Amino acid sequence: MIPIRCSTVCFSIPRVFLKPIQSSTYLSQLRFKSEVTTTTHNDDFVSTTTSTTSSNLPSTKSKSKSKSKREPKTLIEEMKLAELSRQKVLSLRQTLAPWIKRELTQKSKYSHWNPKRKLSRQEMIKVKELKETFPQYRTVDLAQFFHISPEAVRRILKSKWVPNEIDEERMIQRKERKLLQRQETKQAALGRTDEASAVARRAQKHGKWHKRSKKSIDDDNDDDGVELNKSYNKIQSQF
């Protein structure tokens, strides 16, 4: 109690009434502050819990980022990736042997080893005859049968070339020339072997003749010595 004196009367006022009056705005401010503090505490707790859980769980964001980096998003990126892969393949092929490179190129073009072929005139005639007799055969079937590309079969069928007597004569002459060339090469190879064998025989003969000649000379000398001895003995017996 606080005594307050006036001129004539003395009043006693309690301390409660001397406190400032708490208005509604003041109370709302206090309430807002309390809510803010509670929310901050809750946020801190949630952040700590999420950090612990994220540390325990696997990182999915990193995987998604890596996937997004690997997957091309535009045509330019796709072209760059294709160029890089092609350069890698080329760098690997540079270290390979030439026959392996050849086989790889053939496998990339065909399913198996199928090098390019050039048909002769007679084979071209056979292609046309087969197409005339069996029109149900396609160019792909004929190409597989003759081991050539279907484009070559299409060009052969499209061509207007027909074998004449002159062409047949030329073909026969060409065959005869080829046969003669083969025979000449064979004879040359056999002739070389014959020459080598003849030289060996001659060497053997000469060696034997030399031996025989030496023997004959020695025999002759021996005979001469025997005859001289005989004649000398005869002459000596006379005396």
Complete DSSP assignment for 8-52: S-EEEE-SGGGSPP--HHHHHHHHHHHHHHHHHHHHHHHHHHHHH
**pLDDT recorded at residue 57:** 46
Pick from 114, 170, 177: nearest CA to 145: 114
**Minimal CA–CA distance to 127: which of 160, 154, 89, 88?**
154
The residue ranges of every structural domain in the chain are 74-110, 116-161
Question: 210: helix, coil or strand?
Answer: helix
In 13-164, which ranges are continuous DSSP H helix? 24-56, 60-70, 75-94, 98-109, 121-133, 139-146, 150-158
Q: Measured between alpha carbons, how far is residue 65 from residues 58, 61, 70 in Å?
A: 14, 6, 9
pLDDT by residue, tens only, the chain of 239 residues: 555 555 545 555 555 454 454 555 555 555 555 554 555 555 554 455 554 444 444 454 454 445 445 666 676 777 778 778 877 776 766 777 888 878 777 777 766 555 667 888 888 988 999 999 998 988 888 888 888 888 889 999 999 888 788 888 888 898 899 888 888 888 887 766 666 666 666 666 555 544 555 555 555 555 556 565 666 566 556 55
pLDDT, position 237: 61
Q: Which residue has the tokens 């040359």?
A: 188
Q: Is 70 helix (H, G, I), strand (E, B) or coil?
A: helix
Q: How far apart are CA 136 and CA 152, in angstroms?
A: 18
**pLDDT reported for residue 88:** 76
pLDDT for residue 156: 92
